[in-house]
Structure formats: C-alpha cells, structure tokens
Structure 1
Amino acid sequence: MLALAARWQGHALRQLLPAACQAAQLQQERGMKLFEIFSKEERAKRKAKLKEEMQRGYFDDFRDFRDSKGKVFAAPQRLAPASHAPAFPRMQVLLSNGSPSTFPPAATAAAAAAGSGGSEGSSSGGGGELQPAAASLVCLAFRAGAQPMLEAWAGGFSSRFQGRRGVALYELAIVEGVVMSMWPFKQLLLRNSSKAAAKYALPCRVLTHFGAMDGIRAGLHLTNLLTGYVFLVDAQGRLRWRASGSPSEQELQTLLRVTEELLREQGEPALPLQQAQQRAGQQQQAAVEGQSTPQQQAQPS
C-alpha cells in the first residue's frame, strides 16, 4: 500500500513539474515586460525633463528676467552671521592662462603663502595659485549679456577698495555647453578672459568653469541664466552676502558697507575717515568729468 502511494505521489510530481516551470517562465516574462515598461517610462521622463530645461532656457528665463529686471533675489541689508553662513560651493576652474585651480581657495593656503613669503589675503592679476582674502567679491555669469551688470557691481567695488589689503575681486564665467568646452572655442574664451582682467581699478582674477553644475546652481539659487550674480565670500569660503541683476545705488552702497564690516570682522585695518572722504570725492569728480567730456567734445572749437 505504501509503495503504491509513493508511486502515485511521484507520478503527480512529474505531472506538476512542467506546470511549475511554465509558471516560473511566465513570471519571468512578466518581469521583463514590466522592466521594459519602466525603462520606457524613464526614457520618457528624461525626454520630458530635457524639453522642460530647453523651454526654461529660452522662454521662462527671458520672461522672468523681463518681469524682475534680473533680480532673482533681494540683496540683504546686512551680512549673514558667520555661524549660519553656508559654504560657497567648491568647483574646479581654469585661470586665464589655462592653469587649473579650485575655487574658493582653502583658508590654509593663506598660511602657507605667508610662510613662503607670498602675498597674504590678496589677489593679484597674475597667473599664480588663488589665495583666500578677507573679503572676496565673486561676480558670476552664464551668458555674455550679463557682463554689464557684473561690471556695474565690480566697478564701484574696485574703486572703493583700490589699494586695500584683504580684498579680492573675481569674475567667474560658467560655460556648461559641450561645444564651447572644446578646442578652439575653449582657448578663445580663456584668451578673451586674460584681456578683460585689467579693466578695473582693483586687480581682477577671471575664472572659467567648464561643465554642468546643476548641484551648484541649486545650492546658490541660480534659477535664471540670463542675469548676473554677485557674492561676498570671506576667508573661510563662507557666503556672507549676495545680490543679482544690475545694482541700484542703495544696493551698491550696501555692498560697500557690508564689505567694510567683513574686513573689520576678519581683522583688516579700516580705511581712515579722511582718506575715505578724499577717495569718495575723487570718484565723484571722475564721474562728473566722464559725463562732461562728451559735451565738451561736441562743442565746436
């Protein structure tokens, strides 16, 4: 009886085995079909995201720029506290001579430069390594159309702090396109940047970052690629103040004031009041002469 039961059980298992194999094969096929479906969905999502980014670049940025005059965010009235200030994102850049570097420079580089007899806390117009400064104004742009905005910020900043210790000025160009990152366009961009370094009263370092920077854009809230951005960074690489678009007179005065505060905080000597007043008078006189010169040239001799 037991032998008969065992024989029947074996016969039943042999009958069930093909059915189990068919079920496993069917489940595997279903899994492959689901994988194909999800892959198609992922491809569709990527295409939709690419289309959205293209539309954002050509339409939304222009509309936002027109409506807000390039003001992505309002310039604050005071410095961000050092304890709460975020770090400026570190990125790989090329100097105007093509040398690679990292921005912002590490604060430890200042001690190394001081120990080797280098200039401490300042930025020169040459092609050496970047050194941290007590107050660095970083003028950032994605498009050439934002250059006049950056020059409006940097011009007033450089005139005010010309000859001051602990102050640095940077122009940071972001080139995300693949074509412009290739030869010969890359070399042409670097060559033009070297020519633009001497247009301010304060030495200016022109930096270029090639490649996508989605994470950095999100971290700095760079939502519009048509406008210009300025950031005030301390010696530790912390972001202490920021603005966007063309500066109003009040915003420019706020930048100069918070820079003086940052210099005092970082231990740099303040400019004497008499010297500051004298420099302000020279700037006003230069502005008046710049406005009157075209009129004088228009008058017949």
Structure 2
Amino acid sequence: MIRPRLSSACARRFTTKPDGPKPLMPPTPPPPPESRNLSLLQRFQTKLVREAEAIEEMRKNPTAPTAHPVFKYEAKLDARIKELERVEFERKAAGLKTKLGPVAMRMRSGLSGVLDSEKNELERQALLKEFGAKGQFDDLKEIARKGDKLWTAKETMTPSQTSPLVPNIPGKSLSGVETDIHTLIKGKRASLVTFAFTAMGEPHIKSYLQPFQTEFSNNPAVGIVQLNVEEDWAKKWALTLFTPWIRRKVPAEMHGNYLIHTGDISSERNRIGMGNRLLGWVHLVDASGSVRWSAHGPAKEGELKTLLESTRSLLSSSQ
C-alpha cells in the first residue's frame, strides 16, 4: 500500500508533541492616565512646565555639549561683563574716567530681561489666564439667550462705603494726550464713565449719553469720560486704523475725554461687573471715584430717570 507523502510542515505538525499548557502570565498593570484624559488647558500648562524645567536645567550647566547656544553665549557674555567691570574698577582706582560700567550694565539687563525665568513664568501665567478666559463667542451666546439687557439697573445708588472704585484705565485721547480715567474725573462732583468694546455697544452708550449731556453739558462740576477698548491683541491694529474715523465722528469738544485703550482689562472690568464685552456700559462715579450706579445695553426710561436724579443728588450733596 502506497502512503501519501506529507510535506515537511505537515510532518512536523503531526509528529511534534505538544509542549503542554503554557504557564499563566501575571496581569499587566493598568497604564497610567494619559494626557488625553486631561483638559486642553491642563495639557498646555503641563507642556509649558516641562519646557520651563528643561530650559532651567540647560541654563544651570551652559558648558555641557547639549546646552543651547543661547545659554553658552550668556555664559561667555557674563564672563566678558565681569572682565569689563574689573577693568572699570581698576580705572576708577587710578583716577581715570570710563563708560564701560553703563555699557556692561545695559548688556546685562538686556539679556537678563530675555532669559529671566521668573519674568517668563509671569508671562506664561498671563497667557494661560487669557487662554482660559471667557471669549466673545460666550458673550454672543449669552446675548442670544438673554437679549441685549441682561438685567435692569437699580433704582437707587449704591452707598459710597460699599461701592468699588472705578478702574484707572490709561489711554490716548483723541487729542493725542496720554492720560487716564482718574486724571479726567479729578475735581468733578459727578462723572459718567462709559466703556465700549465693540461697535454693537456704541448705540447703547449713546442712549444714556445724549440725555445726560442735554441735562448737564453746561455744568463744570459734571464730567464725561468715554473709553473705546480693544482687548484682543490680534485686533489692536483695527482700532488704531479706525481712530481717525472715530475722531471725525466724536465732537471736537469731547476729544480730550475720549480715550483709546488697547490691552486686556478683564480683571478690572469684572471687578465692577462688566462681564459681556458686546454691550455698552455706563457708570455714574462720585467725587471720590466710587461707582455709585451702573447700567448696560439700551437705556430704559426708568434707568434714565435714575441716572439723572442720582447725578443731581451727587451735585447737591457735594455742595
């Protein structure tokens, strides 16, 4: 009887004895929580901390082969500055004049400003704060949900003892002068301070400003300060570009009290309740700089009545 010839692979399969049951392996420990479980802000902050630690480690050992060229240059420059200071000391001891000291100090301060880890850490914290801050999209959603009137202003003024001070925001007036809010309201018994962050808020402010000017425009004890603020660093150029157009639109007699400010004032505006940047905000400020009454959005008849009566009350009480 002729048996079929098996291939070598099949022969090994049928002739090899099983090795028996394999021993059980210990369970694999669960992996540590990955960065994807963290929020975007936490991942961003963790990455910044790792980078800062790596930079600080390289800075401690600038002579290492793996050190960054910037830190190698810093070490060489620091040695050069010390040599210049030594020469200056010797020249002064010999009664000779030299300018090497100021030059060396400018070199040192210029480089230390770039490589100062504490200063860079503060800048990183500011960026993180801005990164996690409430954006205009959130403001838009709030308006879509509640309308352009988030709440109605109070019918009475807040007592001066519990009123916050108006933030002293600096800016450049339409007259070209660098000044600030406190300088402009100094010596006034009552002042109306307005904030516009977008074009949407300008009609809101106008609805309060026109009746206020009609009533108190000829009273030297009453002041008006308007601020046009752009907090987004990417849009600063737009406000600068439109400044000539704003100057033509605002009456010439108000140019000195109309300030242009670019930069984040979120902490200052939140302190006095200006949450939504798409709306226009007005604040009645007394002689001590305290915010006694605030409103936002388009003016209501009752709010205008309260604004005018409160201003009269401040004028009479100051007298």
| One-letter amino acid matched to 1:93 | G
Say if 1:145 and 1:226, in contact at 8 Å, map to a contact too.
yes
Relative to structure 1, the CA distance from residue 50 to residue 179 in structure 2 (aligned partners, 3 Å threshold; closer, same or farther) is closer
TM-score normalized by structure 2?
0.56
Name 1:57's counterpart in structure 2. 136
Q: Identify the residue that residue 188 of structure 2 maps to in structure 1.
A: 133
> Equivalent of 1:243, from 284, 291, 295?
295
Inter-partner Cα distance in structure 2 for 1:253 and 1:203: 27
CA distance in 1 between counterparts of 2:185 and 2:246 reads 16
Secondary structure of the structure 1 residue equivalent to 2:306: helix
Corresponding residue SS for 2:302? helix
Within 5 Å, give how 1:1-301 maps onto structure 2.
40=43, 42-43=45-46, 53=133, 56-58=135-137, 60-105=138-183, 131-182=186-237, 185-198=238-251, 205-267=257-319
Q: Paired residue for 1:286?
A: none
SS in structure 2 of the partner of residue 226 of structure 1: coil
Q: Give the match's secondary structure for 2:225.
A: strand
Cα offset, 1:203, TM superposition: 8.4
CA shift at 1:233, angstroms? 0.8
CA 1:162 to 1:90, structure 2 compared with 1: closer, same or farther past 3 Å? Answer: closer
Q: Percent identity?
A: 24
Assess, with a 3 A threshold, how the Cα gap between structure 1 residues 162 and 97 changes in structure 2: closer, same or farther: closer
User: What is the Cα deviation at residue 194 of structure 1?
Assistant: 2.3
Under a length normalisation based on structure 1, what TM-score does the superposition of the two structures give?
A: 0.59
For structure 1, which segment, 215-224 or 186-195, has the greater mean C-alpha deviation from structure 2 after superposition?
186-195
Relative to 1, partners in 2 of residues 1:52 and 1:180: Cα closer, same or farther, differing over 3 Å?
Answer: closer
**CA deviation after TM superposition for structure 1 residue 207, in Å:** 1.1
Relative to structure 1, the CA distance from residue 130 to residue 252 in structure 2 (aligned partners, 3 Å threshold; closer, same or farther) is closer
Partner-residue secondary structure (3-state), 1:192: helix
Query: What CA distance in whole angstroms lies between the structure 2 residues aligned with 1:44 and 1:71?
Result: 41
Structure 2 residues without counterparts, runs of 5 or longer: 1-40, 49-124
Change (3 A) 1:63 1:179: closer
CA contact (8 A) 2:191 2:285 kept: yes
The AA in structure 2 aligned to 1:230 is V
| Alpha-carbon distance in structure 2 between the residues aligned to 1:133 and 1:190 | 27
Q: In structure 1, list runs of 5 or more residues that go unmatched.
A: 1-37, 106-128, 268-301
Aligned length: 202
Kindly provide the amino acid, as one letter, of the partner of residue 248 in structure 2: K
**Residues of 1 paired with 2:159 and 2:258: CA distance?**
28
Would you say the 8 A contact 1:87–1:237 is kept in 2? yes
In structure 2, what residue type is equivalent to 1:175?
E
1:51 Cα deviation (Å)? Answer: 6.4
Contact kept, 8 Å, 1:193 with 1:206, in 2: the verdict is no
Three-state SS of the structure 1 residue aligned to 2:167 is coil
1:177-212 deviation digits (Å, cap 9, x = unpaired): 224434xx4543432332233189x88821121111
The letter for the 2-side match of 1:193 is I
SS at match of 2:312: helix
AA matched with 2:166:
F
Match of 1:296 in 2: none
Alignment-mate amino acid for residue 136 of structure 2:
G
- Residue 245 of structure 1, CA deviation: 0.8
The whole-number CA distance in structure 2 between the counterparts of 1:139 and 1:39 is: 37
C-alpha distance in structure 2 between counterparts of 1:258 and 1:203, whole Å: 26
Instruction: Summarize the Cα distance change of 1:187–1:196 in structure 2 as closer, same or farther, 3 Å threshold.
Output: same
| Coordinate RMSD, CA, aligned | 3.1
